[in-house]
Chains A and B, each alone.
Chain A
């Protein structure tokens, strides 16, 4: 028994320390996001903006929503990534596995192609309706439809392997349809590319409210399903023998990760690597059961995307880099570093 309480205390201390650091990183990220404008990251320009007549517009309508939105989208991706890795029992699983990314991209391409062809083929009122429905709705519906198609092909969530294979098939097929449409309507290609690279520049207060409600619901559900994800670490059969109805649990987890991913990608585009890397970072710094891992991955995702967003907006100011490019570079470097560490051991 000697030393046992110490191990628990060490775990608790590590988790508290990481939670504190994430809170600090999020606070600093929000402050940096507010202080990053067309001149790049500049606290002095921030004070000037604050004192200026357009403070309400610049800070209240542009920088605040996109900064807070980056945090929320990151949190949704981090949480969805942790759910995906727990569900598939694979630390390399990401939230886009089940067709949500290709579905969202197809949704965006369809709307862009319809809008560009609208003048020739459809009435003005229909074109206006398409524009009004917007890319956000298209991406959201597309992401959910992609996962729905995966579930249909896999005949529900009865088998994990079948689900994964169906996700791959849907990804390839919907990607091919997207490509075909962009060949027929080249105007849609640019829009699709912008969506694929991710951006926080279109985030407004309405988007924030939507993501906020979604994140709150998902965090509450994550608390409920954390124990089921813990049971899955013992293997699917063992989890079933513990009394879990695995088909229902899988379906609930797939729904949760699709909703989280759809909300994030519809607002911020296909931001890469956050969903994959956030749970990794939490596990490395302060491992623990899913009750902790899911919530902490949301916090880590928020901190990561906030940081990446500030870098994307300030590196080549007054121009912006797509935030997905920054997360991809940072995420790729992190995984490379992880790989080198493992081979050095």
Chain B
């Protein structure tokens, strides 16, 4: 059976530099977290998988079809993408922004029907944006805006969500809520979604079903966060700056290795 999304021997060059090298992976239903140090190529990989960055080598397929051969609207109904930094201009309200998620279903002139309205309502509910749904985006805080942009992605009802740092600007309660929502969406019996999210918040990433560790454009590890090899790869790519321990319930717990190196006075000397 063909994967929902698959990359084969994927390579991307940007400005003469090889950003992704010979990368192969398949994404199916479930929540997958993509982690790695700065400059590892995480956002580029997500953009290539979303069809926004043409690969210099290899190919990406969506349900067995070459991504590049799928018309934009059809692709957008299957695959939604959230930008790393939600750059927003204009005067749209929260609800109008979330409604944009239905463009692939409505076209440029279609009037939203009951299914579209229900999808928008569900997305606003899931991200808890109801309270300020009629405010304009530029009036919101960074975290609130991030939730709106996430709601716009959810409103597409696409089976595959590619999210570049969805926890940016979110406070701790909303990070926890987001992690729970991803797990719920990934296990929804009606329509289990495939979620691939780039995450810098490693404690949140460790709650995912699967962890992809990327460094210098190559995939270093791929497996469950409880897998010892994946954890070792994670510690290695972050140069020992993190520690992973297992708690009483067998869940991995992450902390920063603040006390392991030379003390501050020595480092400054």
In chain B, residues 137-174, which have Cβ atoms closer than 8 Å to a Cβ of chain A? 149, 152, 156
Q: Are A242 and B76 in contact (CB under 8 A)?
A: yes
Whether A238 is near chain B, meaning CB under 8 Å from some CB there, is: yes
A243 and B108 in contact, given A231-B100, A234-B149, A234-B152 (Cβ under 8 angstroms): no
Of the listed stretches A34-42, A222-230, A309-317, name the one at the interface; the rest are far from the partner chain. Answer: A222-230
Chain A interface main SS type: helix
In angstroms, Cα B75 to Cα A245, docked, is: 11
Least Cβ–Cβ distance between B140 and chain A, in angstroms: 13
Contact of B108 among A227, A233, A234 (CB under 8 A): A227
Q: Are B130 and A233 in contact (CB under 8 A)?
A: no
Q: Are A8 and B134 in contact (CB under 8 A)?
A: yes
In chain A, residues 198-241, which have Cβ atoms closer than 8 Å to a Cβ of chain B? 223-225, 227-228, 230-231, 233-235, 237-238, 240-241
Contacts of A233 in B (CB 8 A): 88-90, 92
In angstroms, Cα B104 to Cα A228, docked, is: 11
Whether B73 is near chain A, meaning CB under 8 Å from some CB there, is: yes
Whether A134 is near chain B, meaning CB under 8 Å from some CB there, is: no
Contact of B88 among A5, A225, A234, A287 (CB under 8 A): A234
A4 and B133 in contact, given A224-B109, A235-B88 (Cβ under 8 angstroms): yes
Contacts of B68 in A (CB 8 A): none
In chain A, residues 279-308, which have Cβ atoms closer than 8 Å to a Cβ of chain B? 283, 287-290, 293
Interface size class of A (residues with CB under 8 A): 20 to 34
In chain B, residues 85-110, which have Cβ atoms closer than 8 Å to a Cβ of chain A? 86-93, 96-97, 100-101, 103-104, 106, 108-109
Whether B72 is near chain A, meaning CB under 8 Å from some CB there, is: yes
Least Cβ–Cβ distance between B87 and chain A, in angstroms: 5
Proximity string of chain A (83-105) to chain B, C-beta cutoff 8 Å, 1 when within and 0 when not: 00010010100000000000000
Contact of B91 among A7, A237, A238, A288 (CB under 8 A): A288
Least Cβ–Cβ distance between B69 and chain A, in angstroms: 14
Contact of A238 among B73, B75, B83, B90 (CB under 8 A): B83
Query: Size of chain B's interface in residues, with CB distance under 8 A?
Result: 40
In angstroms, Cα B136 to Cα A5, docked, is: 14
Q: Are A235 and B109 in contact (CB under 8 A)?
A: no
For B92, B133, B152, the residue with the greatest tally of chain A CB atoms inside 10 Å of its CB is B92
Whether B135 is near chain A, meaning CB under 8 Å from some CB there, is: yes
Contacts of A238 in B (CB 8 A): 81, 83, 86
Q: Are B104 and A230 in contact (CB under 8 A)?
A: no
Point out residues on A near B: beta carbons under 8 Å.
1, 4-5, 7-8, 11, 86, 89, 91, 223-225, 227-228, 230-231, 233-235, 237-238, 240-245, 283, 287-290, 293
Shortest beta-carbon contacts, A-B, top 7: A243-B76, A233-B90, A243-B104, A7-B134, A287-B91, A243-B73, A241-B81
24 contacts between A and B (CB under 8 A): A1-B130, A4-B134, A5-B134, A7-B93, A89-B90, A91-B89, A224-B109, A234-B87, A235-B88, A237-B81, A240-B52, A241-B51, A241-B76, A241-B79, A242-B76, A242-B100, A242-B104, A242-B156, A243-B75, A243-B77, A243-B104, A287-B136, A289-B91, A289-B96
Known: A1-B130, A11-B93, A289-B90; 6 extra A-B contacts, CB below 8 A, are: A91-B89, A227-B108, A241-B50, A241-B79, A289-B91, A289-B92
